[in-house]
A and B are shown apart, each in its own frame.
Chain A
Amino acid sequence: MRSKSLAVFLAWCVAGACADAQDLPASLAKSAFDKVSPAVCVVNYSSEVTNPSNGRKSRRNTRALGLLVSPAGLVMAHGHMQVEDSEPFSIKVSVGEGDAEKEYDAKLLKKPEDVNICFVQIENAPGVTFPFLKFAQQDLALGEPLLILGLLGDTLDFNRSVIVRRVGSILEKPRTTYCLDERLLFGYVGGPAVNARGEAVGVVGFDLSSSEGGDLYVRSGHPLVYQTELFAKYIETPPTTTETATDTDGAFLGVFTQPLTDDLAEYWGLPQDGGVVVGTIIPGSPADVAGLKMGDIVTRFNDVPVKAKLDREVLAFTKLVREAGAGATVPLRVLREGESLDLNVTLTERPKSARDAGEFEDTVFGLTVRELTTDVRILLNLPADVQGVIVRSVKSGSWADLAELGPGVIILNFGGQPIASLDDFKAAAEKTAQEKPGEVAVFCRVGARSGFFRIQPRWENGTAAP
């Protein structure tokens, strides 16, 4: 009874919206809704959030809009489901509405690097064929109306809902991005966008991945359409699970660049054709090995002209590098002091980022450490000769806490044993736990300076941290 009145209500809503969007007939909105909404599901999960400043963990239950994209139960959700310092677990996907509603266990797959979408795979549903949504790859036009499907809140039983938005703006660079004309309530984030022909042309969200200039979009606050082409490959070949993932996304050159603005070109007496100016070169990176120098201007990469004049146009170059493939040797044309110079560079796999960094939790001393990755080294401006592990969190009341070790401290030496890797730390911590010394001198780096912390274990109270 309730759902019938709701359907009437929804139909009314759609009709109301269509009065505005005259080129979107109500009947079409209704049929699109009927077609798409069965694929809309609710992803319920718990999330463990680590406060990076004190390492305290807290848990909360939350949910996201899910979208079934394969009959085998592959579900797409917005990327905010898994972010730095927040790990989802106990994931359940609720499919169908009212009496037909059914909940399934699900596991999180590895989050893609190039689009801010999470994938979840329903488990333990043998023989079930799920309703799913097929996406079409379509360009959108300025002002074009789109139906966005979403969920009402939990107090309204997550009833499916539909709203109409228009393409409010189209950004052409670094690649076509569609911005919607109005803000969205949370329940629509990750929801499908359906055009007037009833085709699902993408999902809506707020930030593309950081490699696509995510920050720029988040700061603008405008919702975007993530077009089908951004994620179709992951529906075709779903990512592996997080646990078994190997990081092979994209190739690595090892430079930080800025666009060759017309002013810079004028200053250097160069044609105002754009390009990327090499600033920092990561020591030992492919760029370093190939002999790239600060101030070089890359004008061609892998036989593709590089013509960046604006900050966001540099992203196209970043993408070229990433897509060239690790291990590939590619030609590179640079301008050095006005002269054109051809180089070959052999790209490598991208170094591990903090997100994929290995962690080790030591329950004896009560701290979790993480290996030092290239991105963290750059963020902290660490000289190349600093080797160690970085403290990620310290259990409050533990021996490490009493020694005033805190997150962000880099451990260089633990009890006289130099630490250059996570394995070194593991070995040092285990050795110390076996030898049970009365005190452990820990040599660390805090900010730009180094110094000692002294851990005073109380072994007689047992080996577990208090």
Chain B
Amino acid sequence: MKRMFALSVACVLLATGCVTTGSGMQRAVTRAKDKVSPALVHIRPVKEVFSGGKREEISVVGSGFIISPDGYVVTNEHVAGESTLVRCVLSNKEEVDAEVIGTDRYTDLALLKLVTDSKDLPSIHFAPPGKVEAGQVVLALGSPHGLARSVSMGIVSVTDRYLGDREEMVSPYNTWIQTDAAINPGNSGGPLVNLKGDVVGVNARRLGGADNVGFAIPAATAIHVIDQLREKGRVQRSWLGLTVQETTSKTDDPNQKGVVIADVDPLSPATDAGVRPGDILLSVNGKPTDARYVEDLPDVRRLMADLPVGSQVKLQIARGNEQIEIPLTTVERDDLTGEEVEFPEWGFTATDLTPTIIRRAQLASNQGVYISGTQVGSVAANSGLVESDVVLMFDGAVVENLKAFREMYAQRVESKQRLILLQVKRGALTRFVLVKQEESTEAQTELPQQDGGVQDEE
């Protein structure tokens, strides 16, 4: 009884809501939708994924939007990255393939170019950065659960939501626009637009288990990244090896300037230059690096990332009661994950080492390859190689990187050498893994013979 009452109240509220928003709102929504819809792209990439020690291709569905009459399309990296084929369906249901111009894992953005000679495709534009505010009505367009040409409506809930890292889901260089416009799997890469039909964000994430808590990459970040992707096919960033934390993590003192250096990566320019965890970074090349709250961190990180790669920079550091200036030379930031390769004969996949892996495995150098998966019953698994092992030596030779490993591997597969000795680091321990090459091929040929044996008995 009580419940019915509650429901009827809700209905009334919804009805009155419609009345108060009025027909002006309805017209604005329709106008914005009509402007954006023609530029909407339904994207169906075939992606390369590595799992369980194997390389596979899977088909996924995402969204995107055309930003130029000649067919540049913006979408998410997690939609179009590592794809071998990108098929797009335009608003007129025409199917067009697209070429991946560039992707950026750190911001989850990708730029595609439709393979078409057309120069007058419908396109939409980014709204001027910073013009979005909480409470503003927005529309999310895309293909939720693969349902193309869908529109949902909501408001901007928060303009600068900070999301911490979760494994490979990182966003160090941007905060997020949070919206209650329904965003579902498949909406990824689609536009979040204002009532003028201009793009305020690129829909990319949602909070699982919550109702309508979705997140879009702000236009400012998208513009910055897309421009570089169009020019160079990638985003080049500087790396110093610093992990920064807001000053309130250490003190609530409002006079505390700068940003706390929480961690310094070994094997990084910052370590070489003598920067220490606990130092306060006050400025870089004279530009202040103030971050009192977590929401301020992406700006500081971007300031450092945007330094020209290989340039000499000056860090102003407060250490205890003294201020020191530390010069260092930046290096280029590696991609978030290393290149991944399948080794089918032995049945495993491996990647190049990244600073994250080096850190986690406490490696003394950046030499080696990381085992990202092994297939059950494979030569690698049977030999005792396991996921997250780091291979340091191959038959007594140092494994410099994935490329060197591939060469040694190919040579051994070719020569059919029976035993190959790997030295691996597994957690804190180092041990030997002896790979027996012929074993599994024998097993494979034996099995049919056993079947034959059963038939003989019959």
Contacts and interface: CB of A to CB of B under 8 A. Distances in A.
Interface of A: 256, 258, 261, 263-264, 266-267, 277, 279-280, 294-295, 377-383, 413, 438-439, 441, 443, 447-454, 456
Contacts of A383: 362
Contacts of B340: none
A453 B278 contact: no
Contacts of B427: 378-379, 381
A456 B252 contact: yes
Given A383-B362, A443-B277, A451-B245, A279 B430 contact: yes
Nearest to A258: B431
Contacts of A256: 429, 431
A52 B251 CA distance: 29
B250 to A, nearest CB: 4
A413 B278 contact: yes
Contact of B436 (A263, A443, A456): A263
Nearest to A443: B278
25 contacts: A261-B434, A263-B434, A264-B432, A266-B419, A267-B421, A267-B434, A279-B429, A279-B430, A279-B431, A377-B428, A379-B428, A381-B362, A381-B428, A383-B362, A413-B278, A438-B252, A448-B360, A449-B262, A450-B263, A451-B243, A451-B249, A451-B262, A452-B260, A452-B262, A456-B252
B361 interface: yes
A441 B245 CA distance: 13
Nearest to B359: A448
Given A451-B249, A453-B249, A381 B361 contact: yes
B68 interface: no
Contacts of B430: 279-280, 294
A277 B428 CA distance: 17
Interface string B260-297: 10110000000000000110000000000000000000
B401 interface: no
Given A256-B429, A277-B432, A451-B263, 18 more contacts: A263-B419, A267-B434, A279-B432, A280-B428, A377-B428, A381-B361, A381-B362, A382-B362, A413-B278, A441-B250, A443-B277, A443-B278, A448-B362, A450-B262, A450-B277, A452-B260, A454-B251, A454-B252
B248 interface: yes
B243 A449 contact: yes
B362 A452 contact: no
Contacts of A380: 428
Contacts of B419: 263, 266-267
A284 B359 CA distance: 23
Contact of A378 (B252, B359, B428): B428
Interface of B: 243, 245, 248-252, 260, 262-263, 277-278, 359-362, 419, 421, 427-432, 434, 436
B161 to A, nearest CB: 19
A451 to B, nearest CB: 4
Contacts of B362: 381-383, 448
Nearest to A412: B277
Contacts of A264: 421, 432, 434
Contacts of A377: 428
A447 B245 contact: no
A187 B5 CA distance: 56
Given A267-B419, A383-B362, A448-B359, A454 B431 contact: no
A450 B266 CA distance: 12
A413 B278 CA distance: 10
A397 B252 CA distance: 21
B260 to A, nearest CB: 6
A439 B251 contact: yes
A453 B246 CA distance: 11
A448 B358 CA distance: 10
Contacts of A280: 428-431
Can you list the 5 inter-chain pairs with the closest CB atoms, starting with the nearest?
A451-B262, A279-B431, A381-B428, A452-B249, A280-B429
Contacts of B245: 451-452
A427 B65 CA distance: 61
A281 to B, nearest CB: 9
Contacts of B360: 447-448
Nearest to B277: A450
A439 B249 CA distance: 10
Contacts of B278: 413, 443
A258 B424 CA distance: 13
A438 B251 CA distance: 9
Contacts of B262: 449-452
Contacts of A453: 249
B359 A449 contact: yes
Contacts of B431: 256, 258, 279-280
Contacts of A279: 429-432
B40 to A, nearest CB: 41
Contacts of B436: 263
A262 to B, nearest CB: 10
B337 to A, nearest CB: 16
Nearest to A447: B360
A377 B362 CA distance: 12
B216 to A, nearest CB: 28
A405 B361 CA distance: 24
Nearest to B356: A448
A245 B250 CA distance: 41
- Greatest chain B CB density within 10 A among A439, A451, A456 is at A451
Contacts of A452: 245, 249-250, 260, 262
Contacts of B421: 264, 267
B103 to A, nearest CB: 26
- Greatest chain B CB density within 10 A among A263, A441, A447 is at A263
A279 to B, nearest CB: 4
Nearest to A260: B432
Nearest to A279: B431
A280 B424 CA distance: 11
A382 B362 CA distance: 8
A319 to B, nearest CB: 20
A383 B421 CA distance: 26
Nearest to A452: B249
A256 B426 CA distance: 12
A449 B249 CA distance: 15
B423 to A, nearest CB: 8
Contact of A441 (B251, B263, B432, B434): B251
A294 B251 CA distance: 46
B263 A454 contact: no
A37 B376 CA distance: 50
A423 to B, nearest CB: 22
Contacts of A382: 362, 428
B447 to A, nearest CB: 22
A441 B248 CA distance: 10
A106 to B, nearest CB: 40
Nearest to A383: B362
B276 to A, nearest CB: 10
Nearest to B249: A452
A383 B360 CA distance: 11
- Greatest chain A CB density within 10 A among B248, B360, B429, B432 is at B432
Contacts of A266: 419
A267 B278 CA distance: 49
Nearest to A386: B362
A378 B277 contact: no
A450 B250 CA distance: 13
A431 B203 CA distance: 51
A264 B248 CA distance: 55
A21 to B, nearest CB: 37
Contacts of B429: 256, 279-280, 378
